[in-house]
Amino acid sequence: MKAALTEKFLARFGRAPAVIARAPGRIEFIGNHTDYNGGTVLGASIDRGVWVAAAARGDGQWRFATEASAGLVEVSSAASPARHSGPGSWVNYPLGVLAAFPPFGLRLPGGFDCLVLSDLPSGAGLSSSAALELASALAFLALSGQDAPRASLVQLCRHAENNFVGVPCGILDQGVSGFGRRDHLVYIDCRGPSFATVPLPAAARFWVFNTHTKHALVDGLYAARHRECLAAAAQLGVAALAAVTPAALAAARASLPPVEFRRAQHVVDEIARVEATVAALRAGDLAAVGRLLTASHRSSQHQFENSTPELDFLVDQLVAAPHVHGARLTGGGFGGAVMALTTPDFGAAQAAGVAAAYAANFGRPPEVLPAQTGDGAALQ
């Protein structure tokens, strides 16, 4: 990919890039919507990601291009970055990163040309947006001769998505892309936040089934769930739902509106599932991990209501299949993808059977992605 990116940059801009950065997509392993509620979460950085190449230019213009489009988006570095709409709206992610530089004590780079390539499917719940933010931030720092601690870089990219793009996400996506490590999961305690890694048993395998159904976060149901969780926390007298014990939630059930109780129950139970998953991973008990993953999905389906019929169908098919430990939606939900944790004996033929059953029911097959863990964001 690095050689291909260099060649495409040369063809587009007439010179070689000065810097190249890559950041991986991520699988939300378990911990659905726990991050912005102050809880814990586990994620895996994968071997697919977003690449950003850049080279300085002398006229103060920021020029953005992507392999997916023939055009350029051009912005003056002398003006405050403003959000774009329409076909060029993808530049809001790198522009949001640039807008976050001054609040984080960093100098804005001068003019540059920037080209983005990806082997990560967008809209699949694998967080192509966070990968683009991390890769862009590393490239822009290198262009301007600056560096930042990894935790600050992750926070900067989350700030970009929250305050410029407008998605009220937690730290999961950027944290996993930033701190990922091959053959490990990233464990995030979002109260700090603090980051650690947990070894993944060698027999674990991931399969992702992308439904290609709508994954609308900015103006949709993700923001609604965020508001419902904040409202539940306020009525329970805490700053975030992570501070609520199961006993305290049960005692307050009669005083909470039913919808807000269900949202809170999902978050409180999901945080407990994260901790149980860490213990099962350390014990090498992948069967127990699988049961926790499936329980997480059922909670998303019935308590948090961020699943869809397509995602539920895939989970049902997968958990009934041989060599599958468990399955759940991955990412914000409301479309996107399902992740299955399997044994090495689950292969392409078994995945094709699941895809065929899905196609018979919904009219088209899902995209099937065997995924491996990979390292986190880095300059190349």
Catalytic residues: 173
Name, in order, each residue with C-beta under 8 angstroms of 196's C-beta and a sequence gap of 6 or more: 186, 187
The neighbour count for residue 213, using CB atoms within 10 Å, is: 18
Residue 330 forms beta bridges with which residues? Answer: 337
Name, in order, each residue with C-beta under 8 angstroms of 298's C-beta and a sequence gap of 6 or more: none
Question: What does residue 234 show for φ and ψ, rounded to 5 degrees?
Answer: -60, -40
Query: Measured on CA atoms in the order 221, 226, 227, 233, is the torsion positive or negative?
Result: positive
Apex 223 CA angle, 375 and 275, nearest 5: 50
CA-CA distance, 171 to 42, in Å (whole number)?
11
Q: List Cα–Cα distances, 277 to 6, 40, 294, in angstroms.
A: 41, 11, 12
Using CA atoms of 33, 38, 39, 44 in order, give the dihedral in degrees to the nearest 10. Answer: 60
Query: Measured on CA atoms in the order 180, 183, 184, 185, is the torsion positive or negative?
Result: positive
Task: Look up residue 32 and give its two tokens.
Answer: 């659905």
Burial status of residue 177 (CB atoms within 10 A of its CB: 0-12, 13-18, 19 or more): buried
Where do the DSSP E strands lie in 248-308? none
- Give the three-class secondary structure for 179: helix
40-56 and 112-118 beta bridge pairing: antiparallel
